[in-house]
Amino acid sequence: FRRVDVNDCPLITARHHQVVDTLFATTIGFNGVVVSTIEHLLATFFGSRIDNVIVELDGPEVPIFDGSAATYLKLLQRAGLQEQSAPRNYLKVERPILVREGDSFIKALPADCFQVHYLIDFSHPMVGRQEFSWCFNDKSFAREIAKARTFGFFKDVQKLQGMGLARGGSLDNAIVFDDHRILNNDGFRYSNECVRHKILDFMGDLALAGMPLVGHFQAYKAGHALHNRFLRQLVSTPDSYAVLSPDAPIPASYLRSPKFHIFPERFSPATKAL
């Protein structure tokens, strides 16, 4: 990420050790310069098999759009992709690893593709206990994950805005609940949209590993803080994973995944302004 509004346009690498805050969103920073709410865009890169890109911003936060990854995915598809000659490595889980925080946990197991089983449990009658098992392939991100929006509770939005935060928060960029119902007139995009969005967040936070992951990930009542703690634990435990080089057998779901970057010249003026 490059902050073009700051002197010398500093670069902040999208890596797990650059995370400086996980309250409500994932924020990375370096030398006091930060970029927040990066997870939806990074999930789109992950889901589009893009791993070499510079994101230029004229402010400290990535645009939220409708609270999902759908707009980012549409813009990337419009821009186009180009294969590069540099090899791509993969981080493959070799041994089980578990990270807990209270009754929340994330566990990783060996597998031959990237798959997630995520479970959330909220007392709200419109959310409740939701779980979803999902396996990444060429079509599944756009169809099953990208359109899921972030969600929150009206009383929390009021509290944040009273603190000067979430000032742009509205029904246009999130699912919002009062004490009993959903306030959005268009309702849900999926019956279990909330847990699907948690998988989107999880993908974005795992993208900070710096390479695609291969494994079966199980998450229970987790969030950005635990996502980052888990990733730090994983990469700091060398016997729990292996880095697959291009010479190693690559999982079938990744066979059609050349290394890509964006054609910047294909962006329209409206897209360049983002």
Active site residue ranges: 224
The string over 21-30, giving b where at least 16 C-beta atoms fall within 10 Å of a residue's C-beta and e elsewhere, is ebebbbbbbe
Q: Where are the beta strands (DSSP E) in 140-224?
A: 151-153, 175-177, 213-220
Where would I find the beta strands (DSSP E) of the chain?
Answer: 2-3, 19-21, 27-30, 33-36, 56-57, 81-83, 90-93, 97-101, 104-109, 114-121, 129-135, 151-153, 175-177, 213-220, 241-244, 260-262
Q: Count Cβ atoms within 10 A of the Cβ of residue 105 and give its class: 0-12 exposed, 13-18 middle, 19 or more buried.
A: middle
Q: Nearest to residue 82, comparing CAs of 264, 268, 267, 274?
A: 264
d(Cα 30, Cα 18) in Å, to the nearest integer? 7
**What is the longest distance spanned by two Cα atoms in the chain?**
55
Q: Are 140 and 117 in contact (CB under 8 A)?
A: no
Chain position carrying tokens 């946990």: 105
Token pair, residue 101, equals 């925080």
